[in-house]
Amino acid sequence: MKRFFNWVGAIVLCTTAFTVFSCEDEVSAVGSGLVDGGSTANVKYVDLISYNTNNDSIRSDEQVLQNAVLGVFEEPVFGRTKAKFYSQARMSGANPDFGENAEMDSVILYVPIIHHSDEDDIEIDTTYLYLAEGEEPSDTATIRIARTYKLDSIYGNTDMTMNLQVREVAEYMGARDVKHFSNANLAPCAECPNTNQIDVFPTILGTGEIKNKLTTYQVKQQNETTASVPPIAFQIKLDKDYFKQKFIDNQNSSDLNDNAAFIRNFFRGIELSVAEDQGFLFNFRPASSEFALVMHYHYDNPEEQEDGDTDYEARLAGSYGLNFLSFWSENSAFNVQVSQFEHSNRSTQFVNAYTNPNMTEGDPRLYLAGLDGTKAVIKINQEQLNEIRENVLNNDWAIVGAELNIYLDESQNLKKPPYLFAWNNYRDEDEWKNINFPDVYTFYNSYPISVQFNPMYDYEEDNKMYTIRITDYIKSIVEQNEVFEDGSVILSLGNFLLSPSSTYTTVLSNTDPFFNNRSFNPYRVVLHGSNSENQDKKLKLKVYYTQK
C-alpha cells in the first residue's frame, strides 16, 4: 500500500491568498544545501503560527496520475468523498474489419488493481475439469485455477461492496496539453472556460461488483507451462448490443480511419464511478497495458469449405480492443485522463477551520486530506530567527539541523498516512513562488527507506509524530541572510511524485512541489497546530546548533 501512495501528482493551481482558493500556482525554483545532523547538539525552539487553508481544486489529469482512485468513503470529520475517473480510448488498429454478418459475443472492460503480492496473501484453488469419479488425473488433464488477490492501496469501509458503473463520455475531452482539475464546478482560472466539466451520456453501459478481494480464473492443461496468468483486474461486462451498434454496424465510418477523429467524433471515452454513497476508496493502475476494453465477436468465414475438410468452421471468432494508454505508460500515444472528486457532509469544525482560520494566533488543529486542496500555512517567528542569526554572528553558533515535529490528534480514529510533505512559499516582487526546499535534493532522500526531508511515518514505533527537516532553509536565512518575503512553510498530506527512471526512489522534480500524489492519495489526518491546548504537542520549529 505505502509504495503506491508515495507516488506523486504534478499539481498546478491558480491564485494566491491564504484563505479558500479555486486553484494553486505553478512556479520555478532555487536552492542549496548541507548534510543534516544535530542529534547530540543543543536545541533552540522557535515559535510558529500555523493555520488552515483549502484550495477547492487540484490538478488531476494524466500528467499527475501515476495511479488513480475510485470509490467513496465517509467519516465524521472530513465527510464524504466520491471519486470518478475519465479516460479517452484509442483503437488497437484503424479501419477495423469485423467481417460479414458479424455479431458481438461479449464486451469486457479490464480495470487493473493494486494488490498484495506476498504468497500468503494470494489464495490458490485448483479444480480438475472433465474428470470422471475415481479417475486419476493425467499430465494433460484440464484444470481450472482460481487465484484470489487482496486489494492493496484501499481506504475506508473495506468490508463493504460497491458497484462500479461505466458510462460513455459525451464530449471531446480536449487535447493532451489541456489541464484538468478535480472540481468539475470550477474553471482552471478566472478567465478560462470550464474544461473541468465533463459531460457523459446517462446510459449505464455496464456494472461490476467491487469488493476488497478479486478472483481470476484460468483454464489450462496441467502440464502446460506457457499459459499466461489472467490479468489481475476487475472485469466489467458491458452492453454488447450497444457496442455492436456502435462499432460493427458503423465499421465503414470515416471516424474509424484514425484516432484523432475517433476520440473527437466516434467514441470520446469512458467514465468510471460507483453507485453507492458508502464504501471505500481504492487505487487502480491507469498506466497498465491491461487497462483495456475488448470486444469479442463472430463473423462468417470468408473461405469456402473444401471437399473433405472436416475442420471447417462456418463462423470464426475475432476480437477488437480499445486501449487507455496513460502518460505514464511510456507511449507517445497516451490518452487524456482525469480524476474528479465530489466532497459533501463535511463537519462544521473542518469547514470552519479553513473558512475562518486564525492567522494571528494560529489554529489549534490542522486538517489535511488527499484528493483535495487542504493545506496548512506555517509562519516562523522572525524575531526568534533574528536572535538565532545574532548568535550565529556573535556567539559562534553553527546550525546543524532544523525540523518541524508535527503531532497527530489521537482523538481522531483515522488511518495514519505514510507521508506529509512541505514546500517554500514566498513573494518575489509581484509574484508568489512555490518551490521545494533544498533539503529535498541536497540531502540523501531515497524513498521509502532512507529519507531525510520527510521520513515515512514509523508504524512500528507509532510515536504519533511526523517530521519535516528544513535545515538548509533555516541556514540560508540565519547564516546567509537570505530573505523570503512574506515567506511561509506550506504543509500538505501526501508525498512527492517519484521518478520511474529511479524505480520510484527519488523525487520526480527537485524544484516543483506540485508534482505530488494528492490526486490519488485518499488519506485524511488531523494534527496539533501551533495554538493547540496541549503544550507538549504544539507545532514548533526545533533548531539544533553547536557552539565553538
How much is the pLDDT for 332? 72
Instruction: Report the pLDDT averaged over residues 314-342.
Output: 92
Give the count of beta carbons closer than 10 Å to the beta carbon of residue 239.
16
Q: How confident is the model at residue 523 (pLDDT cuts 50, 70, 90)?
A: very high
Q: How confident is the model at residue 271 (pLDDT cuts 50, 70, 90)?
A: very high
Cα–Cα distance list, 257 to 142, 231, 248, 263, 361 (Å): 42, 29, 14, 11, 64
Least confident of 89-98, 142-151, 220-229, 483-492: 220-229
> How many residues are there in the chain?
548
Decide which of 354 and 9 is more confident.
354
Q: Is the pLDDT of residue 470 over 80?
A: yes
And the C-alpha cell for 113?
488493481
How much is the pLDDT for 9? 37
Give the CA angle between residues 50, 51, 57 to the nearest 5°.
130
Relative to beta strand 270-274, strand 90-91 is: unpaired
* Rounded Cα distance, 336 and 173, in Å: 7
* Rounded Cα distance, 494 and 497, in Å: 9
Mean pLDDT of the chain: 91
How much is the pLDDT for 193? 84
Q: How confident is the model at residue 340 (pLDDT cuts 50, 70, 90)?
A: very high
Q: For the chain, how many structural domains are there in total?
A: 2
Q: Are residues 299 and 367 in the same domain?
A: no
Instruction: Report the pLDDT averaged over residues 441-463.
Output: 94
Longest dimension (CA), the chain: 105
Could you tell me if residue 330 is inside a domain?
A: yes
Paired with 343 in beta bridges are 81
Q: Are residues 108 and 219 in the same domain?
A: yes
How much is the pLDDT for 133? 79
Looking up cell 472540481 gives 183
Contact predicate 543/473, CB 8 Å:
no
Cα–Cα distance list, 182 to 57, 85, 341 (Å): 5, 10, 6
Pick from 314, 340, 366: which residue ends a domain?
340
Instruction: Report the pLDDT averaged over residues 16-42.
Output: 42
* Rounded Cα distance, 43 and 40, in Å: 9
Helices 471-478 and 382-394 pack at an angle, to 10 degrees, of 70
Which residue range is the domain that position 133 belongs to?
A: 84-340
Instruction: Report the pLDDT averaged over residues 54-59.
Output: 90
How much is the pLDDT for 62? 94
Q: Is the pLDDT of residue 27 over 70?
A: no
How much is the pLDDT for 122? 95
Decide which of 192 and 487 is more confident.
487
Where does residue 535 rank: exposed (0-12), middle (13-18), buried (19+ CB within 10 A)?
Answer: exposed
pLDDT tens per residue across span 218-250: 999 888 888 888 999 999 999 999 999 999 999
- The phi, psi pair for 197, rounded to 5°, reads -85, 110
Q: Are residues 455 and 539 in the same domain?
A: yes
* Rounded Cα distance, 481 and 61, in Å: 39
How much is the pLDDT for 15? 34
Could you tell me if residue 238 is inside a domain?
A: yes
Tell me the pTM.
Answer: 0.89
Relative to beta strand 162-168, strand 337-344 is: unpaired
Q: Is the pLDDT of residue 21 over 50?
A: no
Give the count of beta carbons closer than 10 Å to the beta carbon of residue 468.
22
Looking up cell 484444470 gives 143
pLDDT tens per residue across span 73-132: 999 999 999 999 999 999 999 999 999 999 999 999 999 999 999 989 999 999 988 888
First to last CA, the chain: 46
pLDDT tens per residue across span 273-303: 999 999 999 999 999 999 999 999 999 999 9
pLDDT tens per residue across span 155-176: 999 999 999 999 999 999 998 8
How much is the pLDDT for 192? 81
Looking up cell 478472483 gives 215
Helical (H) or strand (E) element with 246: helix 240-246
Pick from 340, 356, 390: which residue ends a domain?
340
Instruction: Report the pLDDT averaged over residues 12-26.
Output: 37
Q: Is the pLDDT of residue 18 over 80?
A: no
Helix/strand/coil for 104: strand
Q: Are residues 428 and 496 in the same domain?
A: yes
Give the CA angle between residues 307, 312, 315 to the nearest 5°.
135
* Cα atoms in the Cβ-side hemisphere of radius 13 Å centred on 241: 2
Q: Are residues 119 and 20 in the same domain?
A: no
Q: Are residues 134 and 187 in the same domain?
A: yes
Q: Is the pLDDT of residue 341 over 50?
A: yes
pLDDT tens per residue across span 399-434: 999 999 999 999 988 999 999 999 999 999 999 999
Q: Are residues 408 and 363 in the same domain?
A: yes
Where does residue 333 rank: exposed (0-12), middle (13-18), buried (19+ CB within 10 A)?
Answer: exposed
Helical (H) or strand (E) element with 385: helix 382-394
How much is the pLDDT for 35? 38
Q: Are residues 145 and 291 in the same domain?
A: yes
Instruction: Report the pLDDT averaged over residues 23-35.
Output: 36
* Rounded Cα distance, 16 and 463, in Å: 35
Could you tell me if residue 374 is inside a domain?
A: yes
Q: Are residues 194 and 105 in the same domain?
A: yes
- The phi, psi pair for 427, rounded to 5°, reads -100, 130
Could you tell me if residue 329 is inside a domain?
A: yes
Decide which of 198 and 18 is more confident.
198
Instruction: Report the pLDDT averaged over residues 354-371.
Output: 98
pLDDT tens per residue across span 181-206: 999 988 877 788 888 999 999 999 99
Could you tell me if residue 13 is inside a domain?
A: yes
Looking up cell 526512489 gives 505
And the C-alpha cell for 267?
467514441
Q: Where are the beta strands (DSSP E) in 239-382?
A: 270-274, 280-284, 292-300, 315-323, 337-344, 365-369, 373-380
Percent of the chain with pLDDT over 90: 80
Pick from 285, 309, 340: which residue ends a domain?
340
230, 232, 236, 212: which is closest to 285 by C-alpha? Answer: 232
* Rounded Cα distance, 188 and 40, in Å: 48
Could you tell me if residue 67 is inside a domain?
A: no
How much is the pLDDT for 31? 31
And the C-alpha cell for 244?
455492436
And the C-alpha cell for 137?
488425473
Q: Are residues 444 and 320 in the same domain?
A: no
How much is the pLDDT for 136? 84
Q: Are residues 370 and 266 in the same domain?
A: no
Could you tell me if residue 283 is inside a domain?
A: yes
Q: Which amino acid is at 436?
A: N
Secondary structure of 451-494 in HEC code, one letter for each residue: ECCCCCCCCCCCCCEEEEECHHHHHHHHCCCCCCEEEEEEEEEC
| C-alpha dihedral, 216 to 6 to 39 to 363, nearest 10° | -120
Peptide bond into 448 cis (omega under 30): yes
Q: Which amino acid is at 220?
A: K
How much is the pLDDT for 471? 97
Could you tell me if residue 127 is inside a domain?
A: yes
Helical (H) or strand (E) element with 260: helix 259-261
Q: Are residues 96 and 205 in the same domain?
A: yes
- Give residue 63's Cα distance to chain centre: 11
